[in-house]
Structure 1
Amino acid sequence: MKQTLTKLLLILLPITVFSQEKEKEKGNFFGGFESNSQWYLNDTGLKDEFDNPTAHPEKPIRSNNYLFLNYTYKNWAAGIQGESFQEDALLNMNPKYKGTNVATYFLQFKTEKIDVTAGYFYEQFGSGLLYRSWEDRALGINNALRGGRVIFKPTKFLTFKSIYGQQRTGFDVSKGKVYGIDTEIVLSDILKYKTTDLSLGLTYVGRDEKTNVANPEFNSLTNGFAGRLNFNHEAFYFATEYDYKSNDAVVQVQDQVNNGLIKPGNALLLNLGYSKKGFGVDASFRRLENMSFFSERGAKGNSFNDRIMNFIPSLTKQHHYNLANIYVYQAQPNVILADTEIVKAGEIGGQVDLFYDFKKGTKLGGKYGTKVALNISNWNALSGTFYIGSPQDYKTDFFGFGKRYFTDYNVEVTKKWNSKWQSIFSYINQYYNKKMIQETSGEVNTNILAAEATYKFTSSRSIRVLGEHMWADSDKKNWAGATVEMNLNSKLSFYVSDLYNYGNDVDYLQNHYYNFGGAFRKNSTRIALNYGRQRGGLVCVGGVCRFVPESSGVSLSLNTSF
């Protein structure tokens, strides 16, 4: 760790000194440091399906560290981020995250009409179905583009964006080159609407990558086009986007790029809703066909979200209960023609959210009111004709629903009983087609009940108690869970939790996944310490997931800004 910090200081000291000198000229210097470390313990109580202890990493002490510095002066801004992964990155992170190095840097000039960035930058066009670059450290995602970006706003109602560069992968960049142009026109400003917002967007994204395929039947440049429309009038809103990706090699197995199957891709997204005080409804529909998009074709199928160019989250309720996140849905944009049992070319489905507040003083509302939230989501494979022989091919029905992937029906009731007590009751029913989603075998039906209560002693001191239970008809069967959280004041908090897979048919897999720890906050600094077991499976943020193996150990996290 001492060597790590020394390297980071050597990398970033020149920028810091320069920034401090500039600060004397009324510039602004700011930054932050984040560290997530884990000491993995050899827990013989955790075993795999063959009754063997879970593998213990050769390097049990691992740490992800990020130091970022930014400086602004008048119309100029500059920044740099150094990263250190010692001795290695946390388990199941991208293996390219190794050692200590400068990760990203940028220089930006910005006025009201022009914004020019050189170096690494993040950007999103429309919903992100065609292009998005972003950072999420919990998932190990950082697909910033290294190159240049220009944003031009000649008028209030017109915005042009252009990008060019190569995508970050580890401490390097991908071989593929990315081009992009996005235009947004605010029609409501042109038409001088006062109570209506109406905008139109057009996007082009190109990915140019030469491959080693002899006599390729696809172009090195893959073109993507998109159009979107957004409408908002008082309590009603509507948005739609259509994306098209030109003919390209379909990669079904990572790093296997060939002429076997060449197809275009497309996506359709619809969202509409109505919202006023005490009532809201929101509905989303999405259809994806062959819409995975990577800066290198061979990256398709990697489990680290490495070199991914677009943003395709699962449009389902993001549950905050542990047991509801065991069988979590992942978006299915890929083409798989494995055999007659597992064939897919994308997904079709959507979700509906309904919110209603029973007014205070009514029979169901009581003195403080009652909130009810209902969510329904359903996702299926695309129906069509699939040829798994040689040559492979498929033809989908545009609005055809094939085999069911996933459903989630849930209701949540939030009730405040008095100035100190509040409770939440939830019921969740899920169907998870493990065979189609994970390309393994099996289907799982679950019913989950959860209840939690929060008691406030003072404005800064409270206790939260949560209990949950899952009934599952297959796979790992039934689970039970409990959590207690205690906030002593605005600075100090503690928690203890346990998930118990008591219903597993295999007795040595009937594990307790216990955890306890605490956090301390002061100003912009937070330190958290935890000990316990990590349940193997998916960890998801905003509908995007990564797989983590089962493990046991002590974790320490530090986050501060200055």
Structure 2
Amino acid sequence: MKKLVILASVLVTAAFQAQENDSIQNKFNISGNFESNGQWYTNDVKRQIKHDPIPLRSNNYLSLNATYGKFSAGIQAEAYVNEALLNYNPKYTKTNVATYYANYKDDQWDITAGYFYEQFGSGLALRSWEDRSLGINNALRGGRIKYTPTENLAFTALYGKQRTGFDVANSDIYGFNAELGLSKLLFPHSEWNLNYGGSVVNRSENIPQGVSGFNKNTFVISNRIGVEKNSFYANFEHDYKSPDAVINAGKINYDWVKNGSAYLLNLGYAERGFGVDATIRRIENMLFLSERKPEVYSPENSSLNYNDKIMNYVPSLTKQHHSSLANIYVYQTQNMIAMQFDEKIQKFGEIGGQIDMFYEFKKGTELGGKYGTKIAANFATLYNLAANYSYFNANGDYSPSFTSKFLGADQNYFREFSVEISKKLSPTIRGNISVINQHYNDQYVRGIFQKSIVNATTLFSEATFSFANSRSITASLEHMWANADRKNWLGGSLEYVHNNNWSLFVSDMYNYGFDPNEHLINPTDLFKIHFYNVGATYRQGSTRISLNYGRQRGGLVCAGGVCRYVPPSTGLGLQINTTF
């Protein structure tokens, strides 16, 4: 902690000095951000939760960026005191410099040395990014050059090693990407907008001694085409992954070598007051790691549980809900192979998609009323790939293999349909109501022996009441009916905003349908229970401080379709975020 305090003092002092110089020469500028997420884990007698051996934990991030003309540089320090929050990557320990970079950028060139983030296309081939709530920071350390000779041509070349904890993975990553505005180059007066994108990403990692049958270089080739005209758009992407040792149920099998592929189609139409968007995706064996063998921390825990060393981005194609209860049964993309002979589970990939629709009834119409009415609907369904498979070869030796069917679908992993109606009722009142129906196949999503399918329907409503002097109250009420697992839930929240600085909030989720004889997806809190949370938030300029106390339900926390598991806990939380 002392290291972080000393480093913070030096950086903040430099920032103030630089800002004084900036007022004189208007060339040099320093900006930064500090974020702290702390938790004091307490006893909870009813939940049979005792003090964690290290009850006080915090994740702290301090970043500083400096710019001078076309040059910029930055550094980020991280401190995990006394250790990282529960179930974060065990490599996040103590205090250290996490990332740093230097950059030059003008109208055509963008050159970076050090750590950087990058995404090619949709991210199926490559995406490096940071999400602190999920514990993800898979930046690349090396060099990147971007060249944009015209507004319709852009090229990127990079080399790096992927971050893992405060170190880097034992492999070399090479990448090249091109973006071409074909219609502007070839048909400058066309009403159509046609674009092409192509990428090659290569991971070079030495093969263990005594292993043969595949190359140390594993590459992904991505081709993308996009077309737009007026309100219509369409995008198609195909990715091919070269043969590599298969990750089966989270464990590597060097005797099983297979390629991978992904197909992504997105179609849409949007105009004022109406929009429809459809996405269809097929993925098979598209787990792409900077080290092909996951690190194992315990029989049930590996680096995959922390999204560590993952090079590409394969989010779930489902709606992100504001409802707390609708996020109990969240879906995670099934992009890995899982053939488990003893448990009779065969997962070969995923095929499916979602469709979003939006319509606004105009003001003054029968359904629009005085202020108009908005309605949004979403349907998503994802399936296991159908395949011919076997566990033993012609000699009777255990040798799992399969051949998938291109458009074949088998078990339904997840299905969801939701409708949301939003309406302004008066100058000071607005609200929304939504119905969410979910079908969750726990046996195949998690790959467990015992069959468990949950069918749940959630009714969610929320209203905001605005008053003078920036005051407001937002209240929500929701209920879930489920046929299995913990069955029925009741939830609600209340937030009072006093002014631009202060707000108070309280929320609760109550599981009153618990049945001790029911098979539970998450066998914790074996009784009817309230998951309450109460707190306050203070904002001043670019600084936000939030204090809360409550119970954390064990389960998945997701952002942008990527999730991490959080264990059940009770405690006091403090979050600080400031930008300077």
Q: Give TM-score scaled by structure 1 length.
A: 0.95
Q: Output the CA distance in 1 between the equivalents of 2:11 and 2:413.
A: 48
- For 2:527, the equivalent position in structure 1 comes to 509
- For 1:45, the equivalent position in structure 2 comes to 46
Q: Output the CA distance in 1 between the equivalents of 2:266 and 2:274.
A: 17
- For 1:522, the equivalent position in structure 2 comes to 540
- For 2:388, the equivalent position in structure 1 comes to 385
Report the CA distance between 1:368 and its aligned residue.
0.5
* 2:269 corresponds to which of 261, 266, 274: 274
Q: Output the CA distance in 2 between the equivalents of 1:479 and 1:422.
A: 25
* 1:362 corresponds to which of 360, 365, 368: 365
Change beyond 3 A, Cα 1:143–1:508: closer
- For 2:80, the equivalent position in structure 1 comes to 85
Q: Output the CA distance in 2 between the equivalents of 1:21 and 1:409.
A: 56
Query: Map of 1:46-125 to 2, 5 A cutoff?
Result: 46=47, 53-54=48-49, 56-125=51-120
- For 2:485, the equivalent position in structure 1 comes to 475
Percent identity over the alignment is: 49
- For 2:231, the equivalent position in structure 1 comes to 235
Report the CA distance between 1:260 and its aligned residue.
2.5
Find out whether 1:433 has 2:451 as its counterpart. Answer: no
Amino acid of the residue matched to residue 359 of structure 1? K
Report the CA distance between 1:160 and its aligned residue.
0.7
Amino acid of the residue matched to residue 550 of structure 2? G
- For 1:284, the equivalent position in structure 2 comes to 279
Query: Map of 1:532-547 to 2, 5 A cutoff?
Result: 532-547=550-565
Amino acid of the residue matched to residue 469 of structure 1? H
Report the CA distance between 1:55 and its aligned residue.
5.5
1:267 and 1:287 in contact (8 A); partners too: yes
1:7 and 1:100 in contact (8 A); partners too: no
Q: Output the CA distance in 2 between the equivalents of 1:449 and 1:477.
A: 14
Change beyond 3 A, Cα 1:116–1:22: farther
- For 2:198, the equivalent position in structure 1 comes to 202
* 2:575 corresponds to which of 544, 557, 561: 557
Q: Output the CA distance in 1 between the equivalents of 2:499 and 2:435.
A: 32
Q: Give TM-score scaled by structure 2 length.
A: 0.92
Please list the CA deviations of residues 133-179 of structure 1 after superposition, one character each: whole Å capped at 9, or x if unmatched: 00000000000000000001122211110110100001000001111
Please list the CA deviations of residues 36-80 of structure 1 after superposition, one character each: whole Å capped at 9, or x if unmatched: 00000011222xxxxxx2364210000000110000111100000
- For 2:423, the equivalent position in structure 1 comes to 415
- For 2:520, the equivalent position in structure 1 comes to none
1:11 and 1:102 in contact (8 A); partners too: no
1:347 and 1:380 in contact (8 A); partners too: yes
Please list the CA deviations of residues 404-427 of structure 1 after superposition, one character each: whole Å capped at 9, or x if unmatched: 000010100111111111121111
Q: Which runs of 5+ in 2 are unaligned?
A: 296-301, 393-397, 517-524
Please list the CA deviations of residues 456-487 of structure 1 after superposition, one character each: whole Å capped at 9, or x if unmatched: 11362111111101111111111110101111
- For 1:348, the equivalent position in structure 2 comes to 351
SS at match of 2:184: helix
2:554 and 2:567 in contact (8 A); partners too: yes
Find out whether 1:311 has 2:313 as its counterpart. Answer: yes
SS at match of 1:509: coil
- For 2:298, the equivalent position in structure 1 comes to none
- For 2:521, the equivalent position in structure 1 comes to none
Amino acid of the residue matched to residue 200 of structure 2? Y
Q: Output the CA distance in 2 between the equivalents of 1:178 and 1:226.
A: 16
Q: Output the CA distance in 2 between the equivalents of 1:299 and 1:366.
A: 57
Q: Output the CA distance in 2 between the equivalents of 1:473 and 1:213.
A: 52
Q: Output the CA distance in 2 between the equivalents of 1:155 and 1:19.
A: 35
Report the CA distance between 1:229 and its aligned residue.
0.8
2:414 and 2:440 in contact (8 A); partners too: yes
Cα RMSD (Å): 1.8
Change beyond 3 A, Cα 1:456–1:16: closer
- For 1:223, the equivalent position in structure 2 comes to 219
Amino acid of the residue matched to residue 368 of structure 2? G
1:216 and 1:258 in contact (8 A); partners too: no
Amino acid of the residue matched to residue 539 of structure 2? R
Q: Output the CA distance in 1 between the equivalents of 2:63 and 2:487.
A: 45
Task: Provide runs of 4+ in structure 1 moved above 4 Å.
Answer: 10-25
Find out whether 1:36 has 2:37 as its counterpart. Answer: yes
SS at match of 2:477: strand
Count of matched residue pairs = 554
1:335 and 1:346 in contact (8 A); partners too: yes
Amino acid of the residue matched to residue 238 of structure 1? A
Q: Which runs of 5+ in 1 are unaligned?
A: 47-52
Report the CA distance between 1:21 and its aligned residue.
8.8
Amino acid of the residue matched to residue 534 of structure 1? Q
Q: Output the CA distance in 2 between the equivalents of 1:264 and 1:21.
A: 57
